[in-house]
Chain A
Amino acid sequence: DAGVIQSPRHEVTEMGQEVTLRCKPISGHDYLFWYRQTMMRGLELLIYFNNNVPIDDSGMPEDRFSAKMPNASFSTLKIQPSEPRDSAVYFCASSLSGRFVGAFFGQGTRLTVV
């Protein structure tokens, strides 16, 4: 398995633009997590899904953020409109319930909003 795949790896956009981050979890994993990492706030859980259903989105900072998981192999995190304070590394991770193997992270998307 190729692991969790995120795209793009880097994204530079102008304030006000829409940004879409993509994630392909490990095949067979039933949990998917979106995290945001900054120096100031560390690793923040934004939202997580179980079997494609959003379970907890209490970490989503504002209505400008939305996440979807239309099927078991794909998820998106969208920011519209983007702001400079959204600049961070966004990680997607997946895990398999019932197994003590932890969460597998993608390589992240480094987002810069100018």
Chain B
Amino acid sequence: GQQVMQIPQYQHVQEGEDFTTYCNSSTTLSNIQWYKQRPGGHPVFLIQLVKSGEVKKQKRLTFQFGEAKKNSSLHITATQTTDVGTYFCAGPTDSSYKLIFGSGTRLLVRP
């Protein structure tokens, strides 16, 4: 079955440093979605990428979808303590809406 892995599992950075998490799927994705879950909270939708090679930005966050539509990345520039949480990628492998989540990357930020 479809597997979506993320690396690293954990990342501990000093406030102001950059952060990147990588998402890799065992199968081609029709689209990729990114979510953020704060400690004790629920996943919150951040963005969706659909096109091969697509890049989108949200303030300090940059999202990229790979050319083969099997991988994606999220880069945060100059992390802040408010960025703390677990970042998940998620996506269906086909035109269905079966949303499979990656293993997540937990970000900790030292003030």
Q: Which residues of A contact B (CB under 8 A)?
A: 31, 33, 35, 42-43, 45, 48, 50, 55-56, 58, 91, 93, 95, 97, 100-108
Interface Cβ pair total, 8 Å cutoff:
56
Q: Which residues of B contact A (CB under 8 A)?
A: 1, 31, 33, 35, 41-48, 50, 88, 90, 96-104
Q: Are B103 and A104 in contact (CB under 8 A)?
A: no
What would 16 A/B residue contacts be, using CB atoms closer than 8 Å?
Answer: A42-B101, A42-B102, A42-B104, A43-B88, A43-B101, A45-B100, A45-B101, A55-B96, A95-B97, A100-B31, A100-B48, A102-B47, A102-B48, A103-B43, A105-B43, A107-B41
State the Cβ distance, B43 to closest chain A Cβ, in Å: 5
User: Closest 9 A-B residue pairs measured CB to CB?
Assistant: A102-B45, A43-B101, A105-B42, A100-B48, A105-B43, A42-B103, A102-B33, A31-B97, A107-B42
